[in-house]
Structure 1
Amino acid sequence: MKIRSYRAQDEEAVIALWKQCDLLRPWNDPVRDIERKMGEQPELFLIGELDGTVMATAMAGFDGHRAWVYYLAVAPSHRQRSYGRALMERIEERLRERGCPKVNLLVRSSNRQVLDFYHRLGYRQDDVVCLGRRLIPD
C-alpha cells in the first residue's frame, strides 16, 4: 500500500469507501467533512492506495494539546493485512513530529472488531465520558 496525502480527485472514492465501511451517519455530510479538513491541517488526511485505487483512509487533527483520529477506514476486501496499522503508524509519526503528547479517537461501543483492533495497537479506554454539541448543522 502506498500512503499519500488526500487529493481533491479522491473525494468520490473516499466517500464510497466510507459508505462501504459504514462510517457515514445522516448528521455528518462527508463532503463538508472533507472540505473542513482541507481547510485545517490537510497534511493529516491520508489515503492508502493499491494499484491506483483508494482502499484506505485516515484523518487526524491536532489542537496543540491532543490529537483526534477520524475516518480510519480499510476496504473490507483489504482487511487483515496491516493496512490500518500502517496508516495509524503514519498518522502517529506525523503527530509526534508536531509534539503531540496524546491521541484520542472515538469508536462506537458496539463495534467490537474495531475496539479489538485499537487495543492491539496499544490504545486503551480512558475513564471519561465524551460529550458533544453540534454548532453547525450539516
Structure 2
Amino acid sequence: MPQRYAIYHPSLLVIILILSLAGLYGGKYAVMRFSGWAFNVRVIISHYMYNVFLINKILAITLLPFTVLLAFSQPEIAQPAMILSFFLVAVLFINRYFRSWQVLAPFFQYSKFHFFAYLCASELLPMALLTKLLIREMYY
C-alpha cells in the first residue's frame, strides 16, 4: 500500500478549503454585482443572485441531517444516506439552473449555447478547479 505524505496538516487543509470556497463565492458575488452595474441589469442580477443564494441555503439546511448520519451511523445506513444526499444535491442544482434560466431567459433568447457557456465558465469550472487543487494538495 503506497504511503501518502501530505504537505499540510489536515486541519489546515480544511481551513484552506473553507477560505477558498468563501473566496470563490465572494469573487462570484463581486463579479455579478459589477456585471449588473456595467451592463445596467442590476434588477435581473439581483433576482438571479437571490435564487442562487436561496437554493444554497436550502441545500445547506437539507444536508445537515445527512452529515450527522454520515458521521455517526453504521455503514449500512451511511451508504443510502450518501446516495440520497447526492440525489438531493443534484435535484436542487437542477432546480437552481431552471430558476436561473427563467430569470436570464431574455438574454439567451438567440442562443442556448451562451447559457451553456455561462454555466460551464462561472459555475462548474471554478468548482472543478478548486476540487482538483484540494485533491492535489492532499495527496501529493
TM-score, normalised to structure 2's length?
0.33
Whose Rg is larger? 2
Structure ranking higher in helix proportion: 2
TM-score, normalised to structure 1's length?
0.33
* Higher RCO (CA-CA < 8 Å; seq separation 6+): 2
Structure ranking higher in strand proportion: 1
